[in-house]
Structure 1
């Protein structure tokens, strides 16, 4: 039934795997001001603090208790069995989609498992937390790698590719994201403008200002596998309601 699908995932899909979200209700990121640990200026002022902040997240991801949940696995199944075009765009910096089996994936906010050369922008996979020994191999002299994270004030990764996919998709699904921060907040408007069906999957009740045509309320781990099975069987979103 559908030919081109774009899926946006946010913190909610990882929270079901046991990952804490960075931002607390008081606006702090793990007891730090955003300006300290999530901006280029903060990194320039205190790179050791920023590295320590992301190293704590890195250890959480790799403590052995965090695993992909049913929604990650269902999206990988959709990728493998769907005959049309599919792009999963995630706002998450963890690797749970990859570990769940997804390959057609774009990390618009970067990846915690990588460091980036500040000069060439080349990325390098990190097998251990950040330290002074992590330098690039692309420059002379070698540059100290920075976290491959999109901070506030920086441009998200792959926006041209995302825009192209949204312009031509016939189904856009947002899973576990509040959809209030731009540019991701504008994805639903773009999809609607081009005639796609738009669906929100969220544990929170629907916002009365939501631009999504359909809203599925509940846990992603329960709803996404069902949604994927319906898509693969040729059903439309309204069959779920």
Structure 2
């Protein structure tokens, strides 16, 4: 009887040990599809609240800093627009470039995206996520821009102006006003993004997470797909 009690005690200890071992197993990596949606929110909506919720950051500022999206993620982009036009011999002011950028950002505020893991191999550290994003009607976008240009060209004060910067500034303003209030259509489009298994340090603790293999390419796919391939 004593032996049976001892055996039962050992069995209970073993079961308890197995239970504790199970509890101590490493957490599963943060899902790639959820990460894709969080990065979309941060890039396009400038909203880091979902990153705080998913990763457990102490604040949105910390999430932005860790993701390399701290501060105003669009800061300096207007200057890049100015430089791009300048390289083509087109003078544009920083103010006009900023107004155009603001309109573009406003247009994308209504774009929504969902994501789903297409394939995943944790052992190899690779995954593919299919993103489904709302899109703008390319014809509606072209019509809006062409309408603005037609109206602008009918203004003699613009057409006869010798102030090249003012003319191109007026063009940017007209285009900005034509696209700012555009809404996505009911159509959606899919694109695939490659993810890699990485490690993030959150609140002093390392967490495995699926991260885009090429964040810049991910951002490019978001904009080009939403614009129907026009970008």
TM-score normalised by the chain length of structure 1: 0.20
The higher radius of gyration belongs to: 2
TM-score normalised by the chain length of structure 2: 0.21
- Higher relative helix content: 2
